[in-house]
Structure 1
Amino acid sequence: MEGRMTEQSYYAPKGGAPLQTQLLTGRAVFTEAYAVIPKGVMMDIVTSFLPFWENTRVWILARPLSGFAETFSQYIMEVGPGGGSERPELDPGAEGVLFVVEGEITVELDGNTHRLTPGGYAFLPPSSGWRLRNTGSEAARFHWIRKAYERVDGLDVPEAIFANEKDITPAPMAHTEGKWATTRFVDPADLRHDMHVTIVTFEPGAVIPFAETHVMEHGLYVLEGKAVYRLNQDWVEVEAGDFMWLRAFCPQACYAGGPGRFRYLLYKDVNRHMKLTR
């Protein structure tokens, strides 16, 4: 299954405002085990601005929330031409992942400039002093996932990574004939990393054939297609532009009914002991 065989698609929100004639009924839901934020919720009214970011607004999809999902935050950033930041990350302990869904950005780190286009990925270690700018003529939209890095004595902090999913061959899940595959930007055996951000792809008709139940918290942003996703005891229909937020141990499964591929950007926390005290 080659990464270049099929042209990739990435949904990006544009904002706007609902009409007064629009029905109030929607698909947004927040439960004790999961939340679904549909693409139609990502309007102008829920955007925020961030300190030291110019010509930029942000949709905040997830944040650490006591009693729910506590390990990460996830933003969709919209940076206009010429916008960006010389001080993007104010928390010296925060690591970050960027994933571009529209436009292009340049990230400067250690004197080197990296150009990221749709499908572009960057892992940014804590205290790395990175900077970001949109040098293009159109707005750039990208995900920014942040986590407090959990240091371990004897393990180095991982180095920065810059890549594009188009250059990576997805790894098929066993016994699926490539119908369920994961694009990995980090070696799963590299214990320096305490989070993974991957892209999961299902071909039409593919399934997660059991209710996954595990300690990892999840953020799932649908990049392409549609599916019916099992969240706790509910089957929920989701499509490109929707975001699912799962707390630890929330059962999950999936049926990708088609007609096209179903793909999502996945966050999960990995490779660390469970904290016993606070």
Structure 2
Amino acid sequence: MSTYHVPRGGLPGQSELTTDRAIFTEAYAVLPKRTMTDIVTSYLPFWDDTRLWVLARPLSGFAETFSQYLVEVGKGGGSDRPESDPEAEAVLFVVDGTLRLTVDGAPSTLTAGGYAYLPPGTTWTLRNTRARAAHFHWIRKTYQRVDGIDAPEPFVTNEQDVEPIAMPGTEGRWTTTRFVDMADLRHDMHVNIVNFEPGASIPFPETHVMEHGLYVLEGKAMYLLNRDWVEVEAGDFMWLRAFCPQACYAGGPGRFRYLLYKDVNRHVPLSRRFV
């Protein structure tokens, strides 16, 4: 059974300490769950009874390819005009509540663990028809079109219906829940769930061109970010620019799991005319 951290907003008490684990460096950022308060929420045009925490957005010289929102939709809330950018693709991942997603006129019900991929130009709506608030992650990226390769089709699934794939030599202690085929060149981003049993690790510093957004869904770990070991827990968000070294040790007592974004399967742009 999977569990997912859900933000509750509010404000820290006036007697609490100001110091925290929040950090922004030249190579990475950490937004602890405590930073996701009422005073940093945002609102969007054409969204009713909805607020969101902006976890990532393109910044020149830092991570540049994606944005990530953590969205709270109240009873009856949602949007019939959710996306204003016709070139934006998206992944929606539900962590709490129930949402009705309509894609090109076809309705689906998304509950916790629900996952939807929406290619650019998709006509979609999203509504909360239940009595309590629903929460989901909304990851957006400008789709990089390639002549001769069609954009992917939209699809809806749930994490519970996708079998995690064990990393080689780990005896299943480190697995990845992949929602699309890694070799499908129609996709220029992957949004996966990475799973570690207590004590499992990434035993080497991964250093690669892909940017990352990592939202901790469950558990805790020590995470290597560039030269720093940082303790993270469910509800924390990490933002890594390209080539930032990373590794981790899952701390237990339960599983350590995070939702992972990365950009993939495209040539590196050599000038602005290819972007």
Query: Any runs of at least 4 consecutive aligned residues in structure 1 with deviations exceeding 2 A, and if so which?
Result: none
Q: Note if 1:53 corresponds to 2:50.
A: no
User: Could you tell me whether the CA contact under 8 Å between 2:144 and 2:188 is conserved in 1?
Assistant: yes
Structure 1 residue 61: Cα displacement: 0.2
Which residue does 2:208 correspond to in 1? 214
Q: 1-side partners of 2:234 and 2:227: how far apart?
A: 22
1:174 deviates by 0.3
Q: Distance in 2 between matches of 1:266 and 1:174?
A: 19
- Matched residue, 2:28: 34
1:170 to 164, 179, 195: 164
Could you tell me how far apart the structure 1 residues matched to 2:144 and 2:130 are? 35
Query: Which string of whole-angstrom CA distances, capped at 9 and with x for unpartnered residues, describes residues 1-34 of structure 1?
Result: xxxxxx1010010100111111101000000000
Structure 1 distance, partners of 2:57, 2:6, is 20
SS in 2 for 1:40: helix
Equivalent-residue separation in structure 2 for 1:117 and 1:88 (angstroms):
19
What TM-score, normalized by structure 1, do the two folds share? 0.97
Contact 2:105 2:124 in 1 (8 A): no
1:55-94 map, 5 Å: 55-94=49-88
* CA shift for structure 1 position 110: 1.5
Question: Deviation of residue 197 (structure 1)?
Answer: 0.2
1:57 counterpart letter in structure 2? R
**Aligned residue for 1:199?**
193
1:241 to 2:273 alignment: no
Q: In structure 2, which of residues 218, 226, 241 is the aligned counterpart of residue 224 of structure 1?
A: 218
Q: Does 1:128 align with 2:122?
A: yes
3-state SS of 1:191 partner: coil
Describe the SS at the equivalent of 1:255: strand
Identity score, percent: 71
Q: Distance in 2 between matches of 1:229 and 1:33?
A: 14
Please list, as runs of the form range in 1=range in 2, the aligned pairs for 1:150-165 lying within 5 A after superposition.
Answer: 150-165=144-159
What is the Cα-based RMSD across aligned positions, in Å?
0.5
- C-alpha distance in 2, partners of 1:154/1:139? 42
Equivalent position SS for 2:160? helix
Does residue 1:264 correspond to 2:255, yes or no? Answer: no
What SS does the aligned partner of 1:48 have? coil
Unaligned runs of at least 5 residues, structure 1: 1-6
**SS of residue paired to 1:166:** helix
Shift of 1:129: 1.3
**Equivalent residue letter for 2:68:** Q
Residue by residue over 1:209-250, the C-alpha shift from the partner in whole angstroms, topping out at 9 and shown as x without a partner, is: 100000000000000000000000000000000000000000
Question: Cα deviations across residues 105-157 of structure 1 (Å, max 9, x unaligned)?
Answer: 11111211010000000000111111110011110000000000000001001
The number of residue pairs the alignment matches comes to 272
User: What CA distance in whole angstroms lies between the structure 2 residues aligned with 1:74 and 1:176?
Assistant: 30
- TM (norm. structure 2) is 0.98
In structure 1, what residue type is equivalent to 2:200? A
Distance 2:267 2:237 in 1: 28
| SS in structure 1 of the partner of residue 39 of structure 2 | helix
* Letter matched to residue 176 of structure 2: T
